[in-house]
Each structure stands twice: as C-alpha cells, then as structure tokens.
Structure 1
Amino acid sequence: MDHKKVIFIFGIGRSGSTLLDLMLGSHPQTFSLGEISKLPKFVKKGKRNLAALEESRFWIDNFDEAELKRFAAGISNHRLNKYIPLKIERFVRGLVGKDNILNPYTILFEKTKTQILVDSSKYFP
C-alpha cells in the first residue's frame, strides 16, 4: 500500500469513538494519534507530560521541544509569525502546501512509519 491515509473519527461523548479509535489503532499498519486536537493546549501551557502525552510516549520520544511547538502550531492553525502580514503568510503556505513544516500529518507519517493514521479528535479548533 503506497497511499497514506488519515482516518478522522468524529463523535459526541460516549458514542463509542474511543473504542473505535483503539480498535483501528491496534492494526499493525495504523497508528492512533488519540485526540490530537488537544495537543496545542498542552504545549501552550508547557505541560508535555499530561493527558494524551502520558498515554503514549510517542510525543516525548519523537519530538523535541521546538518540534513539538511547531507541530502544535501547525495543527491549531496559529500564525507562524505574528510580524509577517497574513497575506504573505497565506501565499507562502500556498507555495509550500505539501511541505513537511506546514503539513503536520506528513511529519507524523515520517515519525510513525505507518500507512494509516487515526485521529479521534472530537472537534477541530
């Protein structure tokens, strides 16, 4: 399988989405990211060892502090640099839209060495 895929699980609380995430994540070609949308909040607070980070040593073992901050900014749609005009930033993002720096899932595929990622965020900020 050459095509890499991301499976997004959406659901309300107590709907079975966590169970589905665990089942899909147990397959050898998949990696469960858990509720990755919560990661920027933990990084912003400087708490690298809470909640999702405790569940999997993946984040701590595969990302240094600077990488984790860049990654969290990428998935939260925060500005890369507040001093660069938004119009220029959008232009640059368009030019390098598939660049590893701006595409968080590309980074995760490289780090996990899997074909399928499972993202069970309940919402996306």
Structure 2
Amino acid sequence: MSQHPEERPRVEPVEHTVDEADGVTARPIGTRSFVYGTKTLATSVVALLLMLFVGRVFAAAFWVLLAIGLLGVMFSVIERNTTGGTEVVSHRRVNLDVMGTVLLALVVMVIVAVVQR
C-alpha cells in the first residue's frame, strides 16, 4: 500500500525561538543523521591523513569512521524521504555523538593493534 508523494501528509517545521542558537529548522537536508554523517566522514579524512603520514595503525579507525559516516548519510536519505527532512539539529548533540564515535574508532584501533602484535 504505497502512497504517492502527493498523498503523504507534509510535516511542517516547528517554529523555535531565537534563544536556541544551535537550532536549525527547515533545512532541505538538515537532518541530524546527515550532519552527523558528514562530520564523521570529515573525521575519517583526518584518520586517513594520519594513516598516510604515521602508519597503518590508523587504518582500523579510518574504516570505522568511514563506515559509520556513510551510514549516517544513508539514514538521512531515508529520513528525508519519510519525514520530509524537517528536524531541529542540535550541533552540540551531534558533536558529542561524533566524539563518541571517534572514541569508538580509537578503541577499535587499539584492539586491532594489540591483536596484530
């Protein structure tokens, strides 16, 4: 029972006050997953550069960050098609999520380094 796009109800953006400095509404692709995915992909580029200059020890971190970043961007496409992409994005929350992902990548990197020795 697939509905045509014109038959689906449109989700209207929620109005917010000016006091919410980190709130972004009604951005065309402003879902939290997209912002999280792109920031994680940018962090994977840093891990790639470290891998190229320091050594292969950062390879595991690079692949973890790349995979999770791509998943975030893919989920944003799903959100865009199902909710219309209208969501308030808290950049502080996204930055905390990215930092948690970086910590996960570092733990994976340490585990891989220990197993390879």
TM-score, length-scaled by structure 1: 0.29
Name which structure has the greater RCO, CA cutoff 8 Å, separation 6+: 1
TM-score, length-scaled by structure 2: 0.30
Task: Answer 1 or 2: which has greater strand percent.
Answer: 1
Q: Of the two, which has the highest radius of gyration?
A: 2
